[in-house]
Structure 1
Amino acid sequence: MNTLPTLVLVHGAWHGPWCWKYLIDELPGLDVRTVALPSGSASLGNLYEDAEVVAKALASVGRPTVVVGHSYGGSPVTEAAATVTGVEKVIYLAALVQDVGESVLSMAGGNYPPYWDVHERPAESADQGYFEVAQPCEVLYSDVPPNLAEQAVAKLGRQSLASAMQPLTRAAWRELPTTYIVCEDDKAIPLSLQERMAARAQRIRRLRSGHSPFLSQPALLAGVLRAELTG
C-alpha cells in the first residue's frame, strides 16, 4: 500500500495539465493529480480564481498532500496552500514565490518581461486583456528536444493579464515547509531572481535545466520529487 503523500501538480502560464504527462509517466505507483488554472483557459480567469481552484483540488484529496507549483503556478499555490488542511509541503519549481502584497508583475520589476506578447484591453473594459509568449522554444523549452518543443508550443494558450497584476493576500511559504527547485539554465525566470525567491524556502535543490524540466528531464525531476515526498 502506498503511504506516500498525494502529489498535486499546478502548471504555469500558457500551459495546462497536458505539460505534466512525461513527468507523471516517471512516477508510477504514486497518486498524482493535476490542476487546470482558469487564468489560462478561454475564460481568462484571474489569480484569485486560480487560487480557489487549487484550494478545491487540494481539499478534495482527503489525505496528506504535497503540491508543486511551476513558474506562474507558484502564485496561486502560495495564495491557496495554507488554507487547506493536509498539505504537508509546497515545492516551487522555477516558480514565483511572492509575499503578501506582491504580484507577478512586481516580481518582474514592474515592467512586462521582453518575452511577454501583451494585448491590453481599453481602459473602460472590465477585461484587462491577456499576454502570450514570444519565442517560446528559446524561452520555455531551450533544452527540450525540438520535436517535443514544437508539440508543446502548439498547445500553448493565452494568459490573463489580471493574473499577473493581482497581489497575494496570503503567503503559504510562511506557514508550511517549502522547497525551491532552481533551474539553473532557465531563460524565462532569471537565475538571480530564482535565487532571491529560493531564499524564502527552507530547502533548495538544483537542476541544470531550462524552464521546463518536466519535458527536458522528466526522469531526473521525478527522482527529485520522490526524494521530497520521503524526506
Structure 2
Amino acid sequence: MTSTDRSTSTILLVHGAWHGAWCWEKLVPELTALGWHVETVNLPSASADADNTAGMYDDARVIRERLDALEGPVTVVGHSYGAIPATEAVAGASNVARLVYLSAFMIDADESIDSLSGGKVSGSGAVTLDAYGHYEDPMAAFYSDVDPQDADRATKQLVLQSARSFCEPLTTAAWKTVPSSYIITENDTALDSGFQEAMSARAERTYRLASGHSSFLSQPERLAQLIDADARQ
C-alpha cells in the first residue's frame, strides 16, 4: 500500500458510550501537529436525556453524514462502543481507507453488545453506568491511568447511554472489506484485554499500548504516533 499523504487526508474520531467528542481534546492537537486534518462527531445515543431513544443506527447515520461531507481518504478511529456504529457507517463508503479499533468492539454482522452480554442490556430507556458492576466507579473503570484532575473532569462530563444503541445489531461487518487495525489497551479496566485480544484477531494489524481504557487522555502523544504510523502504511 502506498504511503498516505497527511495533507489531503482526514482522521475521523468516534467516541464510545456515555462520552462525547470532548473526550478527544488531548488527542486532536497531537494528530494535528503530525499534519492530519481531524474531525469528530457527537453520537446521539449518548445524552443527558433519560428518555433518549437514539440507537446505533442513528449513530451510524451521523457518522455516515460526516463521512459523505469529507473527501478521501479517511481513517476512521472508533473507541469502545463507538466502533460499532463506525463499522456500520463505513460499509459502502468509498472514501474510507482504514478502520482503527481502539480498545473496541470489533463485532460481526448480526451481533450487538446485548447479544454478546447474553441479553443483559435489552430494554428501553437509558443504560446507566451502574448497569455494569465494574462501571459503578467510572474513574476506576475508564480513567485508571489518567491524571486525577483530568479524570475528575471527564467523569463529570459523562452522560446516559440509550439501551437501544446496545441492542441494535450490526448489519455489515465492514472490517471484512475495509483494511482494519486494532489497538489493544493492555491495562484496561473497562474492556478486558483478553476480550480485546479475541477481537483483534479479525484485524489486519494489531498494536498494543500499555494504558487503560482512555489512552486518548492518558497517553495522547503515544496514541497519536500509533494512529499516524498505521494510517501512513
Compute the TM-score of the two structures, normalised by the length of structure 1.
0.90
Aligned with residue 215 of structure 1, among 214, 217, 226? 217
Distance (Å, rounded) in 2 between the aligned partners of 1:90 and 1:4? 17
Measured in 2, the distance between the counterparts of 1:40 and 1:65 equals 24
Residue 199 of structure 2 is matched in structure 1 by 197
Partner of 1:196, secondary structure, is: helix
- Structure 1 residues 2 and 101: alpha-carbon distance in aligned structure 2, compared to 1, 3 A threshold: closer
1:131 counterpart residue number: 127
Change (3 A) 1:108 1:208: farther
Distance across 1 between alignment mates of 2:117 and 2:225: 30
Structure 1 residue 132 displacement after superposition: 2.1
1:16 corresponds to which residue?
A: 20
Q: Deviations over 1:113-133 (max 9, x none)?
A: xxxxx9x6xxxxxxx111122
Distance 1:98 1:2, change over 3 A: closer
8 A contact 2:7–2:37 mirrored in 1: no
Q: Kindly provide the amino acid, as one letter, of the partner of residue 101 in structure 1.
A: D
Distance 1:70 1:44 in 2: 21
Q: Secondary structure at the match of 1:100?
A: coil
Q: Is the 8 A contact 1:10 1:69 kept in 2?
A: yes
Tell me, yes or no, if the aligned pair for 2:7 and 2:36 is still in contact at 8 Å.
no
Separation in structure 1 between the aligned mates of residue 38 and residue 19 of structure 2, nearest angstrom: 18
Aligned partner (choices 35, 49, 56) of residue 65 of structure 2 = 56
Query: Quick check: 1:79 aligned with 2:88?
Result: yes
Instruction: Pick from 19, 37, 41 the counterpart of residue 43 of structure 2.
Output: 37
State the partner residue of 2:7: 3
Q: After TM superposition, give the deviation of residue 151 of structure 1 in Å.
A: 0.2
Q: CA deviation at 1:108?
A: 3.1
Do the aligned residues in 2 keep the contact of 1:185 with 1:208 (CA within 8 Å)? yes
Tell me the SS of whatever aligns to 1:139.
helix
- What's the Cα RMSD here? 1.6
For the residue of structure 2 that corresponds to 1:83, the secondary structure is: coil
Residue identity in the other structure for 2:38: V
Task: Quote the Cα distance in structure 2 between the aligned partners of 1:146 and 1:163.
Answer: 30
- Give the TM-score normalised by structure 2: 0.89
Deviation of the 1:62 alpha carbon: 1.7
The alpha carbon displacement at 1:107 in A equals 2.4
Structure-1 residue corresponding to 2:132: none
Distance 1:170 1:98 in 2: 10
- The aligned counterpart of 1:145 is 147
Which residue matches 2:160? 158
- Structure 2: tracts of 5 or more residues without a match: 130-135
Secondary structure of 1:26's counterpart equals helix
Counterpart residue number, 1:70: 79
Question: The residue matched to 1:8 in structure 2 has which SS?
Answer: strand
Structure 2 matches for 1:84-103, cutoff 5 A? 84-103=93-112
Shift of 1:143: 0.5
For the 8 Å contact 1:55–1:83, the answer to whether it is kept is: no
2: CA distance, partners of 1:132 / 1:194: 23
Change beyond 3 A, Cα 1:208–1:25: same
Give 1:155 shift: 0.3
State the identity as a percent.
44
Point out the more displaced range, 212-221 or 23-32. 23-32
1:59 touches 1:85 (CA, 8 Å); kept in 2? Answer: no
